[in-house]
Every structure is written in structure tokens, then in C-alpha cells.
């Protein structure tokens, strides 16, 4: 029996609604598999937790998580309760950084049963590999002067090591996909960091002569996600550019509510973290209509991570079948509730036993 | 007779094809008006010019331009001839900076006669006000160490003055539109410059109690351009965010070939520059199929700039009529040539005399 220990952090808002559904699905997946079992350890860390304890997680929080094989997180943050920079940097970004989850991967593909907002989605199927530890999100900078002379400086710090491992990850991924990597750059406007990014990209590319490459400026690239997403396979991008592209990727899929993501620790020192693209959506929290598919598909990425590709693919197929049956939450044009969707997935999975 | 002196820089690639068409249209507009005349002075500054003179423009180039009322530029750059950082920063960005064109404005609206790539474009009509002089495009930064330890640092510099005037411009514009301004931020991830941006935005907003405001993170905002563009009126954005949003804006209109832009000098010291969003498109140059509408609509923004709103609106209407007649270049699904489109616009304009 293969046993996987998972730290579960539902977080805020709809995170609390979709997480139980995803766990239910994962448990069913384990049953279907037969030789797999999950053990879930729950952590209530969230804005509510902050209000009670004045911190997003206990002092030894990371030590607690460290023992598990993976962190399964839903959504963090609710600006009505706690300022974003406290909630996000105290939990989500903190785990990404401290656990050296230096790569963020986010697939986007046209799903059967969902209407894309694009007239011609052309069956796109891409994955963004986002540098997840430095770049534009470096905490380096500050302000000088006050009043009308005030100046704020933000330092985007790009290290060769940091860029290289992200780009490298992209090339390796492409070898198991359609063999094409696109670099997101902006070296025509951002004249120090982006030419550096380009040079690292080119030097890594030389090591993969079989992989085709392209380079697009982020402005053009974001627009190509709208006009011809089918042309992309793997895209490697900086922290900020990856952030933007993956939201556009989620949009062309039909809803941010279905987009999955994984924060990968590549040196094996710490657990990786699986966390959908969507946020806590306080506006729809409590209505029972949050789309659970982002969280469930994120669970599929966790299965992939543990080598369970076949089962992962089965799960994704079952999700598509349920969508094609019209069992959908309102964000993708349906009338079903959160639990109706996950129940339908569970029911279909059980027939595979 | 109102006489307007315009410096004309066709630049590279399709710039050389669309510029003559736009001038032809502007001349017709002047005829229709009766009391208006343009005088065009042509400058061949481009990558070809660089190859001959080892610079993108003569030493006294800016002095030459300075005398005119406006600069009308098409597209600069052709990486096959001259590296982008030389061509763009030696001409396009140089003029923006030296002529203190601190604001870049770019409308995006659903045009009659063009199929948007969106299933539901919902008649969107927005305008992005982009800070055009600092921020992520600051030339501040560099590299340290070599080899595997190399680090590149890019400083994004935001001044209160710089942000304030861009935001202010947005609010003033909104007062003559639908009274709504959205701020593009990313203060949840970029922790020095973007919270500063937010605070400037909020302090300017206080001065305009009648204007409604919203603030969205750039990732979400870029995706909203795909899912619900009709909700936006004026968007104020940093140099980089404005760059990205306006390319997505062009994409949802149906082609980057139609998107117009203006670089505005707001202190009256130097001419403003009118320049479409598209580039020089070396891949289609010489085929006679470049879309002239971006350049012509940019001419319309120049008319607006000189107070000729009525005529500007007429021109835009004529453009839409021609599109509805199906006279379109291939990028928007037609079979017409560059000149067929502009000739049709000229013909229609002449009937208005
Ligand atoms: C060519 C480049 C420097 C420029 C920019 O990013 O400003 C272009 O993309 C634009 O939007 O005008
Ligand atoms: C919440 C925010 C800090 C985060 C990011 O920008 O990384 C989010 O947008 C994401 O993409 O996971």
C-alpha cells in the first residue's frame, strides 16, 4: 500500500467549500486504485486564524507541514478581514519561499463541456512554467522622501540559478509533451533583467537541440493567448509574467474556477504545494456555488507528482464527462451546486472500480 | 485656416506601407473640413537609416522634430536588421522620453464590421491610460558576477509626480466618458512599488468624488479583458501593465492592426507623438496587405488632440462603415489590400464634402 501524507489547508472563503469536495474525490480515487491511501492532516490557518492568533500560522507551522509529502492548499486571503500583504505573505507566499517551491506550473487547456469565451479556442493545450521565487516579486526595495517628492523603488532580482532552473524545467516538460518552449520576455522595454532572462533562455536551449523554441514579448504573448492559444505548448515565464499569463489562460478555459496549479520543490528538501489559481472569492462564499473543479484538478496534479499519471488522466477524463453531462456550477453556465459537481465525479469514479 | 505642422516618421516594415495611406486620409479630412490644413515633413529615420548612418536619427533629430505641432510615427524596429534595444530606444522610446510624453493613451472598443475573437464582446469601449516615462521601464539596474553566480537587477522607479499625473489624466478623461476609473495594481505580489501606486491612486481619487473607482490586480484585470471587457471605462496602469493590457485590448478588438495610440506631452513644452500599437511586422512587409486602420485611427487621435473631435468622430464612423462594407485586410478576415481600404475611406469621406 502506497501511503501519502498530505497537509490540508482550506484557507479562506470558498477554499473552505471546495476543499472537502476535493478530498472526497481523492479518497474515491484511492479506493479505485486499491493500492493507494491518503492520510489528510487539517490545518485551519487562514484569516480567521489570524484574527484569533494575530498570525497566519503558528511559529512552528512550517515544521508541522514539513513532515508531510505534500501540502494541499485552497485559497488564502480576504481583504475585508486581513490586509492581503499580511495574509498572502504570511501563508501562501511564505510556504512557496520557505519550502523552496521555486517552480509554479499551471496548465490551461480547452475542456470538453465548457464553452470558452473565445470563438475559436482551437483545442489549445498549454502549460505555463513560472519562476516562483524571485524576479519581480523580490522583497527588495523601499521608499525615499515624503510628500510630492516621494519615490518608490522596487528591485526585480533575477539570478542565473533561479532563471536557469525554471527554464530547464520547461524544457524537460516539453520533451514529454509536444517539444516546444516559448520564452516570455520584454527585453525591448525592460533593459536589464529581460535581456539577462533571454541570455539564460538561449544558453539552456542549446542543451535541448530537439526542442523547438520561440521568444515573445509579454504584451504580444498575452494577446496571442486570445488570438491563437493552440500554438503554444510550454511557456516559461518570470514570476510576474507567469502570474499574468496563467490568469489569461484560466480566462480562455472558461473560468478561473477550474484552473489548477502546483508549486514544486525541485531539490527534494521540502514538500511541494498544490493550490488552484483561483482566490477565496468572498463575494460568493457561503452560497454553495463555488466551482470545485480547480481544486479537484489541482488534486490531479498532485497525483501526477506522485507518479500516478494513469489515475490522474482518468480523473481529468471523468471531470470532462461530468461537465459534458451539464453538471456545472454557475461560473461556467450551469445551475449545479459545488457538491453536486463533486458528487457526480465521485459517482462516476466509483463505476470504474 | 488652421495649419498643423506634422513630423512624419514612417519607420520600418509595414510602417512604410501604412503611413502614406494615413496621410492620404488626413489630407482628405482637411479638404472636408475646409478650414484646416496639414503640412507634413518626412523623416526617413528607421533601421535602414541606422545601417547607413550608424544611428537611428541625426544628432539634432529631436531639435528638428521639436518645431512641429505633432509627431506622426508608424512602426520602429526590425530585429533582423538592428537589435531592438538600439532601434527602439534610439528612436521610439527616445522621443517618448525626451519630449516628456509622460502619458500614453490607447482606446479599445468593439468595432462594427469586425469579428471579435470573443464570443461575447458586449460592445466594450474602454481606454487605457498608461504611465509612459518611468516605472518598470526605468533604465536603472545592471548585473553582478559572471557565470553561474550572475545576478541581474532591474529597478522599477515610481515617483509620486509620475504616477500622480498619469492617474490624474485618467480621472479627467473619465469625467468626459462614463465616469469610472480602474487602477491596475499588483500590490499583493509586488510589495514596494505597487502599494505606493495604490496610495497615489487613492489620494487622487479623493479629488474626484463623482468618479467611481475600482482596483484590480493585473493578473485578474488582464483576464477580465477577456471575460467582461464591457465593464471597463478608463483604466490607469503603469508602463508595463499598460503595455500588456493594451495588447490584450487590441486582441479583443480583432487585430493589433487596428489599435491606435497617442503619447501625450502634458506640459506643452514638446510635441505629442501619435503612433499605432502595432509593430513593423517584417513578416508581412511588402505584400501590400498591412492593415492601415491602426495608423488612420491614430490620425483620428491626433485630430482629437487638436480639438477636432467632430471630424475625428466622423472619421471613425467612416472607418466602421468601410469595415461593414467588407473592405478589410486579411488580418481581420478580408481580402482587400492596404490601399483598397484607405481608398474606400477616402472615397466615403469625399462624399461628406
Ligand atoms: C517596442 C516597445 C518598447 C513598446 C513598449 O513596450 O512600450 C511597445 O510594445 C509599445 O507598447 O509601444
Ligand atoms: C495572491 C498572489 C500573491 C499570487 C501571485 O501573484 O503569485 C496569485 O495571484 C497567484 O498567482 O498565485
The full 3-state SS of A100-161, as one line of letters, equals: CCCEEEEEEECCCCCCCCECCCCCCEEEEEEECCCEEEEEEEEEECCHHHCEEEEEEEEEHH
Say what the pTM is.
0.98
Q: What average pLDDT score do residues A139-155 get?
A: 96
Ligand approaching nearest to the C-alpha of B222: 2
Contact A161 B141 (CB under 8 A): no
Nearest alpha carbon, ligand 2 atom 6: B189
Q: Show which of residues 32-51 on chain A sit within 8 Å of chain B, judged by CB atoms.
A: none
Three-state DSSP at A54 gives coil
Q: State the Cα–Cα distance between residues A310 and A319, nearest whole angstrom.
A: 14
Of B250, B137, B238, B47, give the one whose Cα is nearest residue A187: B137
Give distance in angstroms: CA of B243 to centre of ligand 1. Answer: 6
Residue A46 has pLDDT above 90, yes or no: yes
Ligand approaching nearest to the C-alpha of A244: 2
Cell numbers at A245, concatenated: 499569463
What number does CATH give the domain A116-253?
A: 3.40.718.10
Contact A276, A295 (CB under 8 A): yes
**Read out DSSP for B209-252?**
TTSEEEEEEHHHHHHHHHH-GGG-SEEEE-HHHHHHHHHHHHHH
pLDDT cut 70: percent of chain B above it: 100
Ligand approaching nearest to the C-alpha of B96: 1
The correct CATH number of A1-102+258-353 out of 3.40.1710.10, 3.40.718.10, 3.30.230.10, 3.30.70.660 is 3.40.718.10
Pairing mode, if any, of strands A234-237 and A212-217? unpaired
Interface test with A, best of B223, B243, B291, B331 (most A CBs within 10 A): B223
Give distance in angstroms: CA of B220 to centre of ligand 2. Answer: 10
Q: Show which of residues 145-164 on chain A sit within 8 Å of chain B, judged by CB atoms.
A: 147-161
Helices A293-305, A309-324: axis angle to 10 degrees equals 160
Closest partner residue to B85 (CB to CB) among A188, A247, A256 is A188
Say what the pLDDT of residue A172 is: 98
Contact A309, A301 (CB under 8 A): no
Which ligand 2 atom is the nearest neighbour of the CA of B219? 9
Q: State the Cα–Cα distance between residues A62 and A40, nearest whole angstrom.
A: 16
Say what the pLDDT of residue B353 is: 82
Three-state DSSP at A248 gives helix
Q: What average pLDDT score do residues B319-338 get?
A: 98
Q: What average pLDDT score do residues B147-153 get?
A: 96
Closest partner residue to B222 (CB to CB) among A141, A156, A222 is A222
Q: Which residue does chain A place closest to B137, by CA atoms?
A: A190
> Does A243 sit in the ligand 2 pocket, CB within 6 Å?
yes
Give distance in angstroms: CA of B189 to centre of ligand 2. Answer: 6
* Gyration radius of chain A's alpha carbons: 20
The correct CATH number of B1-102+259-353 out of 3.40.718.10, 1.10.1040.10, 3.40.50.10190, 2.60.40.10 is 3.40.718.10
Q: State the Cα–Cα distance between residues B323 and A230, nearest whole angstrom.
A: 27
Fold match flag (A1-102+258-353 vs A116-253) = yes
Contact B85 A187 (CB under 8 A): yes
The full set of domain ranges for chain A reads: 1-102+258-353, 116-253
Say what the pLDDT of residue A220 is: 97
Which ligand 1 atom is the nearest neighbour of the CA of B84? 1
- Give the model confidence (pLDDT) of B39-50 as tens digits: 999 999 999 999
CA distances from A264 to A82, A167, B102 (A): 27, 14, 41
Q: Show which of residues 80-139 on chain A sit within 8 Å of chain B, judged by CB atoms.
A: 84-85, 88-89, 93, 115-120, 136-137, 139
Say what the pLDDT of residue A149 is: 96
- Give the model confidence (pLDDT) of A228-282 as tens digits: 999 999 999 999 999 999 999 999 999 999 999 999 999 999 999 999 999 999 9
Task: List CB contacts of B97: < 8 A, sequence separation 6 or more.
Answer: B133
Q: What average pLDDT score do residues B53-71 get?
A: 98
| Average pLDDT of chain B, as a whole number | 97
Q: How confident is residue B72, by pLDDT bands cut at 50, 70 and 90?
A: very high
- Give the model confidence (pLDDT) of B264-295 as tens digits: 999 999 999 999 999 999 999 999 999 999 99
Q: What average pLDDT score do residues B192-217 get?
A: 98
Contact B190 A136 (CB under 8 A): yes
Say what the pLDDT of residue A353 is: 82
Q: What average pLDDT score do residues A270-295 get?
A: 97
Q: State the Cα–Cα distance between residues B271 and B263, nearest whole angstrom.
A: 9
- Sort out which chain B residues have CB atoms less than 8 A from A199's CB and list them: none
Give distance in angstroms: CA of B36 to centre of ligand 1. Answer: 32
> Does B243 sit in the ligand 1 pocket, CB within 6 Å?
yes
> Does B191 sit in the ligand 2 pocket, CB within 6 Å?
no
Q: State the Cα–Cα distance between residues A49 and A72, nearest whole angstrom.
A: 18
Task: Say if A244 is an interface residue toward chain B (CB within 8 Å).
Answer: yes
Q: What average pLDDT score do residues A20-33 get?
A: 97
Sheet holding A272-274, edge to edge: A36-42, A2-11, A70-75, A272-274, A262-264, A103-109, A125-131, A234-237, A180-185, A212-217
Task: List CB contacts of B250: < 8 A, sequence separation 6 or more.
Answer: A223, B108, B256, B258, B259, B277, B278
- Sort out which chain B residues have CB atoms less than 8 A from A117's CB and list them: 118-120, 226-227
- Give the model confidence (pLDDT) of A152-186 as tens digits: 999 999 999 999 999 999 999 999 999 999 999 99
Task: Say if A307 is an interface residue toward chain B (CB within 8 Å).
Answer: no
| Continuous H helices in B34-159 | 47-53, 61-66, 84-87, 93-98
> Does B219 sit in the ligand 2 pocket, CB within 6 Å?
yes
Contact A118, B251 (CB under 8 A): no
Distance from CA of B227 to the nearest CA of A (A): 6
CA A262 to chain centre: 5
- Give the model confidence (pLDDT) of A49-96 as tens digits: 999 999 999 999 999 999 999 999 999 999 999 999 899 999 999 999
Q: How confident is residue A20, by pLDDT bands cut at 50, 70 and 90?
A: very high
Ligand approaching nearest to the C-alpha of B298: 1
Give distance in angstroms: CA of A77 to centre of ligand 2. Answer: 11
- Give the model confidence (pLDDT) of A314-343 as tens digits: 999 999 999 999 999 999 999 999 999 999
CB count in 10 Å sphere of residue B207: 10
Cell numbers at A203, concatenated: 544558453
Q: Which residue does chain B place closest to A138, by CA atoms?
A: B190
Amino acid at each position: 500500500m502506497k501511503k501519502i501524507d498530505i497537509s490540508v489547508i482550506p484557507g479562506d472563503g470558498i477554499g473552505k467549500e471546495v476543499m472537502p469536495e476535493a478530498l472526497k474525490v481523492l479518497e474515491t480515487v484511492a479506493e479505485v486504485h486499491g493500492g493507494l491511501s491518503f492520510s489528510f492532516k487539517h490545518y485551519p490557518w487562514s484569516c480567521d486564524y489570524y484574527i484569533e492568533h494575530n498570525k497566519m500560522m503558528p511559529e512552528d507551522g512550517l515544521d508541522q507541514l514539513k513532515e508531510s509529502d505534500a501540502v494541499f492548499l485552497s485559497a488564502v486571503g480576504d481583504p475585508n478581514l486581513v490586509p492581503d500583504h499580511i495574509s498572502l505573505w504570511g501563508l501562501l507566499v511564505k510556504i512557496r519561499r520557505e519550502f523552496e517551491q521555486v517552480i509554479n506550473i499551471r496548465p490551461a487547456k480547452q475542456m470538453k463541456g465548457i464553452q470558452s469565451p473565445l470563438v475559436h479556442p482551437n483545442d489549445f493545450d498549454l502549460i505555463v512554467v513560472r519562476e516562483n521565487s524571485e524576479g519581480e516579486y523580490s522583497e527588495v526595495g523601499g521608499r525615499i522622501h515624503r510628500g510630492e517628492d516621494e519615490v518608490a523603488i522596487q528591485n526585480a532580482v533575477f539570478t542565473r540559478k533561479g532563471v536557469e532552473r525554471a527554464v530547464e524545467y520547461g524544457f524537460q516538460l516539453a520533451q514529454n509533451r509536444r517539444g516546444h518552449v516559448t520564452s516570455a520576455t520584454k527585453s525591448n522595454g525592460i533593459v536589464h533583467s529581460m535581456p539577462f532572462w533571454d541570455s539564460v533562455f538561449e544558453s539552456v536551449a542549446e542543451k535541448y537541440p530537439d526542442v523547438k523554441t520561440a521568444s515573445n514579448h509579454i504584451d504580444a504573448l498575452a494577446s496571442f493567448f486570445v488570438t491563437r492559444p493552440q500554438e503554444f505548448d510550454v511557456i516559461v515565464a518570470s514570476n510576474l509574467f507567469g502570474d499574468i499569463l496563467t490568469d489569461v489562460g484560466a480566462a480562455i478555459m472558461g473560468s478561473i474556477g477550474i484552473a489548477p496549479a502546483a508549486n514544486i520543490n525541485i531539490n527534494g528538501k521540502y514538500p511541494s504545494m498544490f493550490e488552484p489559481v483561483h482566490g477565496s472569492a468572498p463575494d460568493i462564499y457561503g452560497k454553495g456555488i463555488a466551482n470545485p473543479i480547480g481544486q479537484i484538478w489541482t488534486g490531479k496534479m498532485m497525483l501526477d507528482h506522485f507518479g500516478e499519471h494513469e489515475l490522474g488522466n482518468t480523473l481529468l477524463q471523468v471531470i470532462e464527462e461530468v461537465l459534458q453531462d451539464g453538471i456545472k456550477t454557475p461560473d461556467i453556465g450551469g445551475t449545479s451546486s459545488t457538491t453536486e459537481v463533486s458528487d457526480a465525479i465521485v459517482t462516476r469514479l466509483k463505476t470504474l472500480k
